[in-house]
A and B are shown apart, each in its own frame.
Chain A
Amino acid sequence: MVTPETLVAASVIVYIVALTLYTVRVVKGPTIPDRILAVDALTYDLAALIAVIGLLLRSPLLVPSAIVLSLWVYALDLYVAKYLEGRELGD
């Protein structure tokens, strides 16, 4: 018997596999932009995973964390990009 709950639980397993692969790229990545890109993608997935976990645990209050998490990784992108261009952070 396939219920929606089993589909959601199966997608959590798929997400965990994907997270492991992203982590390998973060640790291995030869250059700085590679690592930042992998952290970026990993965190967007974690934001989606937060929403899915909130569904699985039946706690609607967990979901606003996804908004915050996805926003501030964008800020991390901006800082590192500005550093890589060799300029002052407030320029």
Chain B
Amino acid sequence: MASRYLIAASIALVVVSLSFAVAYGALGTAVPLENIRSLARAYVTLAYAPWNRTLTAMSPEAVTSIVWDFRGVDTFFETTVLFGAIIGTVTLFRGIKPSARIGEGLSIIARSAAAVTAPMILAVAAAIALHGHLTPGGGFQGGATAAVVALVILVTFSLGYLVSGLSKERALMLRSAGLLGIAAVALIPLILGGVVFQNQAKELSQFSYPAYIGGALTSGSLLFYNLFESLAVAAGLTLTIMLLLSPHEVVEEAVRGEEHERV
């Protein structure tokens, strides 16, 4: 039994030293700082600066302007990682259709409450996504909120009810439409003589998305990025959850059929 104690002691040592390295040794006790760093100062200063049109993002919200303007290419590759994970899940469940059988769902009281609240929640999600350049929010937030709406409908009514409105192919199509929209918004400046992921006019290229539409501040491309990203995130997460919750027998049958073909 000595080896068991040795293993326990070594696990404890690794845990303590690793968490020390991650937490305390890397940060120290110097947080919080008195002032923010100069990089953050530059970002906050330049996020909304109509008097400096060649460097600004024309959005009062610094986080969204970092995500989609100052560091747009970072976010693009993070979106790629996200859809890599979603494609992996879809591949693991290949050949499986979510069942279209409409179950009984929850009680009538829960159904009525869900029927009243679901449009309200969708409106909240749309507001979070489309006001992302003015108030806290954005494409990722709105997309995650809309995905939970689909999940509430799935649990309250049934999986078949959701599938009858949003089939697997339609969710895939929406997700691809969101991705194509992001790509189009990123590439249109390149066609018209600008650079990739350009928002406002720079010194090298005069192309610029409109910062005001009809007198309202829309922050150029940020509005379109938020719209398409929320569409893509909502459709992708709903798709993977629909596949994950598909009934046991359906998955079992699909997997068994595959083995028969191989033999």
Contacts and interface: CB of A to CB of B under 8 A. Distances in A.
Most buried by B among A64, A67, A91: A91
A1 interface: no
Contacts of A88: 103, 245, 247-248
Interface in B128-153: 128, 135-137, 145, 148, 151-152
A79 B156 CA distance: 9
Most buried by A among B105, B121, B155: B155
Contact of A89 (B121, B128, B135, B245): B245
Interface string A57-69: 0000100100110
Interface in A16-72: 61, 64, 67-68, 71-72
A90 B247 contact: yes
Q: Is the interface of B mostly helix, strand, loop or mixed?
A: helix
Contacts of A67: 124
B237 to A, nearest CB: 14
A1 B53 CA distance: 50
B255 interface: no
A91 B121 contact: no
Contact of A91 (B103, B117, B128, B137): B103
Contacts of A79: 155
A88 B159 CA distance: 10
Contacts of B124: 67-68, 71
Nearest to A90: B159
Interface residues of A, number: 16
A75 B148 contact: yes
A37 to B, nearest CB: 16
A61 B151 contact: no
A52 to B, nearest CB: 18
Contact of A64 (B104, B128, B158): B128
A8 interface: no
Contacts of B154: 89-90
Given A61-B136, A68-B145, A90-B159, A75 B104 contact: no
B18 interface: no
Nearest to A77: B110
B128 A90 contact: no
B245 A90 contact: yes
B155 A90 contact: yes
Contacts of B121: 71
A67 to B, nearest CB: 6
A9 interface: no
Interface string B108-123: 0010000001000100
9 residue pairs, one from A and one from B, having the closest CB atoms: A90-B159, A91-B103, A90-B245, A78-B155, A89-B245, A75-B152, A61-B136, A90-B154, A75-B148
Given A90-B103, A90-B158, 13 more contacts: A64-B137, A71-B117, A71-B124, A74-B152, A75-B151, A78-B152, A79-B155, A82-B155, A89-B154, A91-B104, A91-B158, A91-B159, A91-B247
